[in-house]
A and B are shown apart, each in its own frame.
Chain A
Amino acid sequence: MEHTITKHILFEYLNGRATPLEKQATEEWLKDANHTEQFHRWLLEWETQSPQLITDTDAAFRKLVARLEDQISLEEAALDTQPERRITLTRWLVAASVFVALCLGGWLVREPILYKTYETDYAQTSAFTLSDGSHVVLNANSTLLVPRFGFNAGTRQVQLQGEAEFSVRHTRDNRRFVVKTSDTFQVEVLGTEFTVFARSRGTKVALSQGKIRLDYTQGTDKRQLMMKPGELATLNEGGDLTVQLPESPDALTAWKEQRFVFNNTSVQEICTLMQENFGVVVRTGDPEIAARTISGNFKAQTAEDLLEVLVQVLNLEIRKENKTLLLLNPNLSPKS
């Protein structure tokens, strides 16, 4: 039976033109594993004679070589890091100390590697858009760390020191946006626009639109607080959280336009504000001055602008001592 199969019959079979008898004979022939080699040789000849495609073999080969070379360089890189077989004690010690040094180095520089840092200097604000489309305005003397890896997958988590306004872009897959200010305090975004203030004297969160949740720790309890638009939450140094409805919520974001909104704000508070925003140390030795308050809306781009306002409004005098500015009452000033 097998001798009846010729190349011609096989080609007819492969072309789908074989008669049922030829087809049956061919398949009988194919069932014998000894004919497989011959079948493949004829298959090669058939494909060479009547190609279905015109290929660019040169280009395809170049692509294959490029792929193999990539592979090889990867393997070489992997080989380089393989340790030698005989390692003496000294080598171990050297290796161990190098390892420790690398780890330590890696640990020390982990922040710039893992996070993109947005930083503002004193008297400087900065506005930018994150890769997810969320908009951030950073107030003076503030730092925002945004992860370089994984920010666009899973929870979007940023770390804030200072003050910033966030306008969070909602994602289709409802990914969370979390602002962490410390290990024990974070703001979870369920809606859109809010301001976070996180400096040493406390943390404040003002929500202008949407919905956010505060996660904080009081003592050892983990707590949560839902905020509604217009509310201002304040966490003092003692760890107590209070929520109020400020009369002028705009005041909380006035810094974006380099404006300062004071509403019965004490000189003491303004001094702190100056230090936070401009890095200028302003003090007053007189409790009477410290307790005086001012109200109003002032535009100030520098510490001098703001000081000028204070001096004018409250009729004070400034004296410079070392790097500290002293606010004095001209009438009571000891040397005038």
Chain B
Amino acid sequence: MSTYLEKHLSMQHSLAGPLQPGQPSPQPGMEDKSRQFDAEVLLKATFEQDARKGLELLFRKYYAPLCSHAVRFVYSRQIAEDLVSEVFYQFYKTEAYRHITTSYTSYLFRSVRNEAFTYLRREFGKTSTLDSGYDNQPDHQQLSPDAEIQYNHLFLKVNETIALLPHQCQRVFLMSRFDNKKYHEIAAELRISSKTVEVHISKALRHLRDALKGEWIALFLLLVTY
């Protein structure tokens, strides 16, 4: 499913966090869990001693995977990075690290998924008549596990929609959103007019908006009934 993206971004694997030296090959079962546990304990201890140092460890470990996750929702490098940075900023500024009840992994993924959802709703949910109901979001620590399922559906839907775009339209959209290229730069590279680039982009956005319509209603029902 994500192959077209991977093709688009010729990528390397270089994402070992500082807490997992050597990145041993993934092993199932207990060992994996206990290593995870150790990392959490180390992070907690660091936060207690020096919150700034804790923030740095946390950031270096989670920033890349969180961006990678956020981008599956928002399909824009810039927005994904901003959104993840904002989560870290709030986490530190509000001293949320003092009172978290879940693991750091869980807290961060939950926050990023929430933020991504909020962003998508704001950008693509405007046509929904149920829009006003979204504003009272539940406290994110008490979010229903169903929300996790709906969030999965959301990013899978986005992915699917992009995958189904006509080839040229998809290419233009990805160049604009992932390579941060300006319309005229894309136009020059693909030898098409700026006007055509604009048409492709707005077409892609329209497809997204239409595709996500159903998701909003599902999420809305979920959030108000929970």
Contacts and interface: CB of A to CB of B under 8 A. Distances in A.
B65 A51 contact: yes
A37 B106 contact: yes
Interface in B145-200: 145-146, 148-149, 152, 156, 159-160, 178
B102 A37 contact: yes
A64 interface: yes
B64 A55 contact: yes
B6 interface: yes
A11 to B, nearest CB: 11
Contacts, number: 114
A255 B60 CA distance: 70
A44 B156 contact: no
B67 A33 contact: no
Q: Is the interface of B mostly helix, strand, loop or mixed?
A: helix
Interface stretch (B77-85, B129-137, B207-215): B77-85
Interface stretch (A13-21, A80-88, A128-136): A13-21
Interface string A49-74: 11111110100110110011001000
A47 B63 CA distance: 11
A115 interface: no
Interface in B1-23: 1-2, 5-6, 9, 11-13, 15
B127 interface: no
Nearest to B157: A16
A34 to B, nearest CB: 9
A67 B105 contact: no
Contact of B64 (A13, A32, A51, A68): A51
Contacts of B80: 53
Nearest to A63: B85
A67 B59 CA distance: 14
Interface of B: 1-2, 5-6, 9, 11-13, 15, 26, 28, 33, 36, 56, 59-60, 62-69, 71-72, 77, 80-81, 85, 88-89, 92-93, 102-103, 105-106, 109-110, 145-146, 148-149, 152, 156, 159-160, 178
23 contacts: A16-B156, A16-B160, A30-B145, A37-B103, A37-B106, A40-B106, A41-B36, A43-B109, A44-B109, A47-B65, A47-B66, A47-B68, A48-B64, A49-B26, A51-B65, A52-B72, A53-B64, A53-B67, A53-B71, A53-B80, A53-B178, A54-B12, A55-B81
